[in-house]
Structure 1
Amino acid sequence: MEIFDCIAVVARPIHDFGDEFMSDEATAAVGLRAGFPPGRGFYCRGRFGVLGEASVSVVQSVQGFLGPQLAAAGWLAGRPVMPAEEAAGLYAQAIQMWGRANVPADVDVEHFNHLAQQLIDAADADALPLFAGWRAQACPSDDPVGAAMQRVHVLREHRGACHLAAVRLCGLSAREAMVINLGDEQATHYGWQEPHPVAAALIPRRQRAEQLTDELQAPLYATLTDRQRTEFAQLVKALTASPAP
């Protein structure tokens, strides 16, 4: 399989499977049991906790696609509950737990882990601090299914960080990209207050941003052989196909 064919096949499933984890009530319940208030506190403190005790403005700049007030409120709501590093560790545990509950039992997660780690190790993390933080988060050696889900998350963070850079390079703001992608109404769900329609002339820039995102990811997938890329695409399809019974 060619590099860009593989990226085209795996990008959406990796993104969507990560979304399922993030929006699942089971994930929220992990945070609630740990003392996080309802809302985005666990999500923000856990996901962005790999940045350390960063200021609100730093978190807002790195995460990109949430409305700035929503990101700020979530980060601040989680701050009294536990230190950032501890929250990131708990979020990693939630990722692993969700993987054990939702990754189909017949997937060759050992081979997925081998190929996914090869991609993760090959990535240049310059200007991608959120990805760098999650790459540095230890994966369990005795839980291959949980580790597979964590690697899905890390790869998702890589593409997300690349996409934020690509969006800005193409002359779009994060708000404009979200409105083009989701529409005005859905963008409000992600914290963009009064998002307003985007000028039609800007819409092609998002497609260019997608292409540039693929180009930024291409060096990772170039480290796999044609056969490995085919295997990886098949494994991603199988891993993200449906929740396990």
Structure 2
Amino acid sequence: MEIFDCISAVARPIHDFGDEFMSDDATAAIGLRAGFAPGRGFYCRGRFGVLGEASASVVQAVQGFLGPDLVIAGWRAGRSVMPAEEAAACYTQAVRTWGRAHISADADVEHFNLLAQQLIDAADADALPLFAGWRAQPCPVDDPVGAAMQRIHVLREHRGACHLAAVRLCGLSAREAMVVNLGVEQATRYGWREPHPAAANLISRWQRAEQLTDELQAPLYATLTDRQRAEFARLVTTLTGAPTP
């Protein structure tokens, strides 16, 4: 399988599987049991806790795609519950727990873990701090299914960080990119206040940003052989339960 064919095959399943985890009531329940109030505290403090005790404005700048009010409120709400490092560890456990409950029993997680870790190790993390923080989270050797879900999350963070860089390079704001990609209603759901419909000239910029995101990820997938890329795409499809391309 060619590099860009593989990227195209796995990008959406990895993104959507991670989205399912983040939006699941079972994930929110873990945060509630850990002491977080209902809302975005566990999500923000847990996902972005790998950045350390950064200010809310810095967290917002790093993550990019969620509305600033949502992120700042969630980050500050979680601060009194536990330190950032502890919250990130708790969120990591939630990632693994969700994976054990949702990854297909038919998936060869051992093979997936080998290939996924090869991709993760090959990544240049310069200018991608959220990815770098998640890559640094310890990954268990005695929980292959949980580890597979954690690696999915890390790869999702890599593409997200690359996409944020690509969006800005193409002259789009994060708000504009969210509206182009998801529409006004969904952009509002992700915390953007009264977003306006996207102007027609922004659509081509977003399309270029998508292409540039693929290009930024290409060095990772170049470390796999054609056969390994085909295997990885098949494994992601099986593991996430995505429709066969």
1:120 correspondence with 2:120: yes
Q: Take 1:57 and 1:201, find their aligned partners in 2: how far apart are those partners?
A: 30
Q: Which amino acid aligns with 1:181?
A: N
Q: Which amino acid aligns with 2:106?
A: D
5+ residue gaps, structure 1, are none
Counterparts in 2 of 1:80-159, with a 5 A limit?
A: 80-159=80-159
Q: Which amino acid aligns with 1:163?
A: H
1:44 is matched with 44
Structure 1 position 198, deviation (Å): 2.0
Q: Take 1:152 and 1:23, find their aligned partners in 2: how far apart are those partners?
A: 16
In the superposition, the TM-score normalised over structure 1's length comes to: 0.98
Structure 1 position 203, deviation (Å): 1.2
Q: Take 2:50 and 2:14, find their aligned partners in 1: how far apart are those partners?
A: 20
Counterparts in 2 of 1:225-240, with a 5 A limit?
A: 225-240=225-240
Counterparts in 2 of 1:1-245, with a 5 A limit?
A: 1-241=1-241
Q: How many pairs are equivalent?
A: 242
Q: Take 1:79 and 1:59, find their aligned partners in 2: how far apart are those partners?
A: 13
Q: Take 2:136 and 2:92, find their aligned partners in 1: how far apart are those partners?
A: 12
Q: Take 2:112 and 2:182, find their aligned partners in 1: how far apart are those partners?
A: 31
Q: Take 1:87 and 1:56, find their aligned partners in 2: how far apart are those partners?
A: 15
Helix, strand or coil at the partner of 1:74: helix
Q: Take 2:234 and 2:149, find their aligned partners in 1: how far apart are those partners?
A: 16
Q: Provide the aligned C-alpha RMSD in A.
A: 0.6
Structure 1 position 201, deviation (Å): 1.1
Structure 1 consecutive aligned stretches of length 4 or more whose deviation exceeds 6 Å = none
Structure 1 position 199, deviation (Å): 1.6
Q: Take 2:183 and 2:202, find their aligned partners in 1: how far apart are those partners?
A: 14
In the superposition, the TM-score normalised over structure 2's length comes to: 0.98
Q: Which amino acid aligns with 1:21?
A: F
Q: Take 1:150 and 1:105, find their aligned partners in 2: how far apart are those partners?
A: 17
Q: Which amino acid aligns with 1:41?
A: G
The C-alpha deviation readout for 1:19-64, integer Å capped at 9, x for no partner, is 0000000000000001101010000000000000000111000011
Q: Which amino acid aligns with 1:114?
A: L
Q: Which amino acid aligns with 2:128?
A: L
Helix, strand or coil at the partner of 2:148: helix
Helix, strand or coil at the partner of 2:149: helix
Q: Which amino acid aligns with 2:154?
A: V
Q: Which amino acid aligns with 1:104?
A: S
